[in-house]
Structure 1
Amino acid sequence: MSGTSRVPRLGVEEEFLLLDPATGRPLPYATQAGAARACTPPSVRKRCSTSCCSQETATPVCRTLPEVRAHLLRMRRTLADAANLEGCVLAACAASPFADGAWPVPVTDKPRYQQLHEQAPLLTDEQLINGQHVHVEIQDDQARIEALNRVRPWVPLLLALSASSPLWRGRDTGFASWRYLVNDRWPVSGIPPRFHDARDYHRRSRDLVDRQMVVDPGQLYWLARASARFPTLEVRAFDVQIRVDDAVALAGLVRALVMTVLAEAEAGLPAPDPAPEALAAAVWHAARNGLTGHLHDPRDLQPRPAATVVRHALTHLEPALQQAGDQQPVRRVMERLLKEGNGAVRLRRALDEHGWPAVLSQLGDHTQDR
């Protein structure tokens, strides 16, 4: 894609945990031969994850949000049914919320993950976190890096909308997205730097691998990056969503954002260039507060009420949302998040009102039917 001459295709990856239905503790499927087979049905596009209690799926390339929704529902329901047959609960939880039993959870028996575990044992053991990754097609390499540079100030807002991991190993962390804090401990993470052009991006990425600072390009854990496998911009800022409709709306929002920033580039508008320390701090505060209190506005990184920032963002992205036909589903979910709260708010509400069993019930019940 170059600019907004057409609506780009997109795809979504999601990560899940397998939980014990009685205690909510992570359940390593690799210790159960039946579960290992059952939880990888052929109708699901599955990818490897670090932990043996994780499942990761990817949609096919999609043109519309209804396509995305249909694939996400199909894969979630197929995995959930298979997991239930083997005594597991499939949960779209962005961080392991319950007090752990057996620790550590085994690492997936793949050379890459074993190498990561050798380099950082405790970090890998604690990688019981799950995200949602949205890929938006941008065929032109230079346009892809132009879009990456321009979405950087938007990352705090994206993270705040998706924040759904306030609970970690039996306690409330005080953060809306603890997943972000866990993942930010790796050597290359957080907000990506600003790149001069595509050549600069690829040179600096290769340099990190050549200097053995990361295992491979897949360990560039920036919250947004140019995909190493597809001609896409990959936004990785999101906590995995408990509800499918929330996941779909976030995917539509990212597509509209990419269309908008590329249109701005074609119009000759200057790319924003906020100070990297300000962007990093804004992401930290987004992980801390979610949609409660203030957010740092993508326009100038000034703190404003979350509802004000979200609604201004929707107005700014309105032309692209309309062009893609995504206005109604995206706006409907965004208004519900502002009214009812994001996943972090809902999980805390369940815990406060009904205790830990309600948290497990919400994660298990809503993962496949909402």
Structure 2
Amino acid sequence: MTTIGVEEEYLLLDPVTGLPVPLGDKVLATAGLGHLVADHEVQCELLQAQVEVATPVCGTLEEVGGHLLRLRHAVGAAAETHGCRIAACATPPLRHGRPVAVTDQARYRAMLTQAPQLVAEQLVNGMHVHVGVPSRETALQVLNRIRVWLPALTALSANSPLWDGHDTGFASWRTVIFSRWPVSGMPPHFADIADHDRRVQRLLDCGLISDTGQLYWQARLSARYPTIEVRCLDVQLRADDAVMLTGLVRALVQTALAESTAGAPELHCEQELLQGSMWHAARHGLSGTLVDPGGRQRRAGEMLYELLRHVAPALDASGDSRQVTALVHRLLQSGTGADRQRDALAQGGLPAVTDLILAQSTTP
């Protein structure tokens, strides 16, 4: 069984005003005291209005879902003791006029010096899926093969339409914000692992990044674990949507592994086309068209059907087909997190958006 692990980032919001509150250290300390949380499962983030959780290594989607609910409830309970709530949304509907405090760690202080305005606007939350691979060379081959599908995953996960109290017009504003760092966006194609390592080392030697953690590509080889890490996803309002995306990501990796072993040719797509496709996915989510791996515009529903068809053998092999397919169909009917936030905004304004986010963040 191909192993998986998930990291989620949450905002800490005042339940009355809906504004981010800088209580990360306090919530982290309180969550760490509970019997439901193991060491290193809850961590600080760049800004003090955020926390991050990480599941253990899992073998099944049921394990992933159970751990995510456990961690959401544990961190949620810790937040409530300090008068705030966790919010599994990728951007805050509202922000203060002043920046949120940066977590007091050397790496984060250096980032603040390097790019103060970018750090001030880094109130964005993602979901990162780690999938186990046999080797770094294999991970590189997988990365080359899955990059063409990353825009579709971003569209499916879109959950950040609001910023500073208004609709940005984008389904995933987080994707736009994160694309402003020096090394970000769609990962390039690499000839082999030596080519990858040489190019990363040049970025380090030139001072364009201070460490490999600043490789903010939408997917990358993990520097800490024997995994490939898919990072193009907005954090999800509902834990079961996170489970669905985890299943799709694992199936994509398994499909890429099988294709590589069989010597199947890679789908070739130019870097500029992929970059534009990602922008298009962030802009429209599932409300319009997506650009397929061949560079053609397709209706979002057709593109998702193609994605499901592509990974169907892997989903069947892992026993995830029924669960993932059902959750994808439910999302197509109820809308992405971005769609649901916009519906709430239209019906009840920003208070209704806050209520929606806080209610769904700790429910299955």
Query: What TM-score do you get using the length of structure 1 for normalisation?
Result: 0.95
Instruction: Indicate if the aligned counterparts of 1:18 and 1:88 stay in contact, CA closer than 8 A.
Output: yes
Q: How far did residue 47 of structure 1 move?
A: 2.6
Q: How far did residue 41 of structure 1 move?
A: 4.0
Residues 259-293 of structure 1: CA deviation (Å, up to 9, x unaligned): 11111111111112211111100000000000011
Is 1:133 the counterpart of 2:133? The answer is no
Q: 2:15 aligns with which of 17, 21, 26?
A: 21
Is 1:88 the counterpart of 2:84? The answer is yes
Amino acid at match of 1:103: R
Q: Which residue of 2 aligns with 1:3?
A: none
SS in 1 for 2:259: helix
Instruction: Indicate if the aligned counterparts of 2:190 and 2:196 stay in contact, CA closer than 8 A.
Output: yes
Residues 163-196 of structure 1: CA deviation (Å, up to 9, x unaligned): 0100011110000000000000000000011001
Residues 40-99 of structure 1: CA deviation (Å, up to 9, x unaligned): 44515023310011000100000000000000000000000111111001000101111x
SS in 1 for 2:207: coil
Q: Which residue of 1 aligns with 2:47?
A: 51
1 CA distance for matches of 2:353 and 2:172?
A: 16
SS in 1 for 2:59: coil
Q: Which residue of 2 aligns with 1:184?
A: 179
Q: Which residue of 2 aligns with 1:38?
A: 30
Instruction: Indicate if the aligned counterparts of 1:159 and 1:290 stay in contact, CA closer than 8 A.
Output: yes
2 CA distance for matches of 1:331 and 1:206?
A: 41
Q: Please, which runs of 5 or more residues in structure 1 have no aligned partner?
A: 1-6
Q: Please, which runs of 5 or more residues in structure 2 have no aligned partner?
A: none
Q: Which residue of 1 aligns with 2:139?
A: 144
Q: 1:267 aligns with which of 248, 262, 268?
A: 262
1 CA distance for matches of 2:64 and 2:280?
A: 30
Q: How far did residue 148 of structure 1 move?
A: 0.2
SS in 2 for 1:273: coil
Map 1:70-81; keep pairs closer than 5 Å. 70-81=66-77
2 CA distance for matches of 1:308 and 1:244?
A: 25
Q: Which residue of 1 aligns with 2:60?
A: 64
SS in 2 for 1:355: helix
Instruction: Indicate if the aligned counterparts of 1:69 and 1:244 stay in contact, CA closer than 8 A.
Output: yes
Is 1:123 the counterpart of 2:123? The answer is no
**Number of residue-to-residue matches in the alignment:** 360
Q: Which residue of 1 aligns with 2:213?
A: 218
C-alpha change, 1:34 and 1:209, in structure 2 (3 Å) is closer
Is 1:201 the counterpart of 2:196? The answer is yes
Q: How far did residue 35 of structure 1 move?
A: 4.2
Identical-pair percentage: 48
1 CA distance for matches of 2:27 and 2:71?
A: 16
Is 1:351 the counterpart of 2:340? The answer is no
2 CA distance for matches of 1:41 and 1:181?
A: 36
Map 1:332-351; keep pairs closer than 5 Å. 332-351=326-345
Amino acid at match of 1:340: S
Residues 128-186 of structure 1: CA deviation (Å, up to 9, x unaligned): 00000000000212111000000111011010000010001111000000000000000
2 CA distance for matches of 1:301 and 1:16?
A: 34
Instruction: Indicate if the aligned counterparts of 2:31 and 2:42 stay in contact, CA closer than 8 A.
Output: no
Amino acid at match of 1:48: C
Q: How far did residue 296 of structure 1 move?
A: 1.0
Q: Which residue of 1 aligns with 2:253?
A: 258
